[in-house]
Amino acid sequence: MAIIEKTLLQSGIRVIAGVDEAGRGPCAGPLVIAATILKDPFAPELNRVKDSKALTEKVREELFDVIIEQSMAYSIISITAQELDDRGLHKSNLEGMRRAVLALETEPEYVLTDGYPIEGLSMPNLAVWKGDQVAISISAASILAKVTRDREMIEWDKKYPQYGFAGHKGYITAKHTAALKEHGICEIHRQSFANIAALIA
């Protein structure tokens, strides 16, 4: 972890942003993109930081505030299901990453992203294969995005308890599918997703 950051730091690049998203796969809820510039990628406080999917919900919650404290700057962007339907998932993801970088209070010298390059930035950026597993800046961003999205889905669960959003977070599960068949869709379901489109049809 942090090999990429080490190489950049040795090259004299100090202000490095990591960018990642949470919520590409679910058929309900927002897509959340986070960007963070860590003060020191090698700070001992960040030793437990790794890909958000490899951490328990409890550990992600614990690390959320740690990452905020260890960030020189951070931003979190939430894109609604309506926006995803209107623009498309991939285009929304790229635009969200660009927005997240531009929203940082400190302009980065270099940007690392998980999987996809960002067009239209004035600074260089590198798309890293499995970036949330090999670059701590991306891993930190993945935790900010995942925790924020999970919290949003828990809030939506209070409004629409019949779907069980607090449990599955909008992913397609047997319980979610059964709820959709019984209750139909709600405002945060992505109508462009195949299973939701089939229900509407």
Tell me which residue has tokens 């670059």.
Answer: 135
User: Of 157, 154, 168, 131, whose CA–CA distance to 52 is shortest?
Assistant: 131
Domain ranges of the chain: 3-200
Three-state DSSP at 71 gives strand
Residue 145 and residue 76 in contact, taking contact as beta carbons nearer than 8 Å: yes
Residues belonging to the chain: 201
- Residues 6 or more apart whose Cβ sits within 8 Å of residue 79: 30, 31, 32, 33, 92, 95, 96
Query: What is the torsional sign of CA 149, 150, 155, 159?
Result: positive
CATH superfamily of the domain spanning 3-200: Ribonuclease H-like superfamily/Ribonuclease H (3.30.420.10)
pLDDT band (50, 70, 90) for residue 1: low
What are the tens digits of pLDDT across the range 49-88?
987 888 999 999 999 999 999 999 999 999 999 999 999 9
pTM for the predicted model, two decimal places: 0.95
pLDDT reported for residue 133 = 79
